């Protein structure tokens, strides 16, 4: 699918739940938010049909997201269903990793190819503070399991937070030296809970780049996404930086999103512009769903609105958007 700006849209981020077992301070309020009713969330069969329609329109990569996708029961079943769709070339998962160790092998066997693990600190106390109760040891066990079962590449997503984890950048760089992982530093976006204190927490990824020592050099990207990568001749992994705000990445955006209740998002910073659930439950066939995908892509804006910090962004919770 080609949008109005001439960008090829071949990547779908599919949320399977709006629930999460953590309450990260930049994502959700301490008490969480009211989850959608069970009947409002797409069934796996509906998701599979939706992805089939997207693939017929040119989607080649699907990333399963949440909330936290591993809190959804029988997620391995969905992975197995999606992995069997002809012409779907890449199936991946984003997770906070706390539940990953127990299911990594089953996910790999079902057809999952790779995984991104959100990990904002390597200090147990800092991790617990950022996530409001998370257990770092569980995430590290999940990381070990992902590497052991052959999920590749494993990417570690680190949201840069001034005053909270910036002093750990060197530790994450050492992780990339010693493990075959891509450690990716991501600029905080002014969405949801991060909107109010964005100026306090925001740190540009250039701060990380300036700290990389001798030997680190640019390398080709992994997956064609927004990250710019650095490698080192003595490193098992790589360092990536995603300048979500300080650079204009929208010109090479290749993705759309579908929320857990079937909401179609053309841009992370904009309201949903499509409602797939009602069409699915009216019995929509592949032809109808393909038309809806084309309409969704046609509505994709030239760029996001986050730099202008519109007040509506404070209602855009990442856990509700599919990340």
Q: What is the pLDDT of residue 31?
A: 82
Residue 180, pLDDT score: 98
pLDDT given at position 151:
98
Q: What is the reported pLDDT for 304? A: 75
Contact between residue 315 and residue 270 where contact means Cβ atoms under 8 Å apart: no
Question: Structure pTM?
Answer: 0.94
Q: Which of 216, 128, 223 is nearest to 176 (CA)?
A: 216
In this structure, what token pair is assigned to residue 305? 């609105």
Looking at residue 189, what is its pLDDT?
84
The pLDDT tens digits along the chain (323 residues) read 999 999 999 999 999 999 999 999 998 888 888 899 999 999 999 999 999 999 999 999 999 999 999 999 999 999 999 999 999 999 999 999 999 999 999 999 999 999 999 999 999 999 999 999 999 999 999 999 999 999 999 999 999 999 999 999 999 999 999 999 999 999 998 876 766 778 889 999 999 999 999 999 999 876 667 899 999 999 999 999 999 888 877 888 999 999 999 999 998 878 888 999 999 999 999 999 999 999 999 999 988 766 555 555 555 566 666 66
List the beta strands (DSSP E) in the chain: 11-15, 61-65, 90-95, 114-118, 154-159, 181-186, 217-219, 228-231, 238-242, 255-258, 263-265, 274-275
Q: How is the chain split into domains, by residue range?
A: 11-321
Domain 11-321 has CATH 1.10.287.1080: no
* Helical H segments across 73-193, by residue range: 75-83, 104-110, 124-131, 136-148, 169-178
């Amino acid at each position: 699918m080609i949008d109005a700006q001439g960008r090829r849209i071949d990547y779908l981020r599919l949320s399977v739940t709006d629930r999460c077992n953590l309450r990260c301070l930049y994502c959700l309020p301490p008490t969480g938010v009211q989850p959608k009713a069970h009947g409002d969330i797409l069934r796996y069969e509906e998701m599979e049909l939706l992805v089939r329609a997207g693939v017929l329109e040119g989607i080649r990569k699907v990333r399963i997201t949440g909330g936290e996708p591993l809190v959804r029961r029988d997620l391995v079943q969905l992975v197995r269903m999606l992995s069997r769709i002809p012409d779907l070339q890449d199936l991946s998962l984003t997770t906070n990793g706390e539940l990953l160790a127990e299911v990594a092998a089953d996910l790999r066997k079902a057809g999952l190819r790779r995984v991104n693990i959100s990990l904002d600190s390597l200090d147990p106390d800092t991790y617990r503070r950022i996530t409001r109760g998370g257990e770092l040891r569980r995430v590290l066990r999940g990381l070990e399991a992902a590497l052991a079962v052959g999920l590749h590449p494993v990417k570690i997503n680190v949201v840069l937070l001034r005053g909270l984890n910036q002093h750990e950048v060197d530790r994450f760089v050492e992780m990339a030296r010693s493990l075959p992982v891509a450690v990716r530093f991501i600029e905080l976006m002014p969405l949801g809970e991060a909107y109010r204190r964005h100026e306090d927490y925001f740190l540009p990824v250039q701060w990380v780049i300036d700290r990389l020592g001798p030997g680190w050099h640019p390398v080709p990207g992994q997956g064609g996404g927004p990250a710019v990568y650095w490698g080192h001749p003595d490193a098992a992994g790589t360092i990536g930086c995603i300048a979500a705000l300080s650079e204009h990445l929208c010109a090479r955006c290749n993705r759309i999103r579908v929320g857990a209740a079937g909401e179609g998002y053309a841009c992370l910073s904009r309201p949903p512009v499509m409602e797939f659930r009602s069409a699915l439950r009216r019995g929509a066939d592949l032809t109808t769903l393909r038309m809806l995908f084309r309409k969704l892509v046609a509505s994709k804006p030239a760029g996001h609105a986050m730099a202008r910090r519109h007040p509506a962004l404070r209602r855009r919770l990442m856990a509700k958007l599919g990340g």
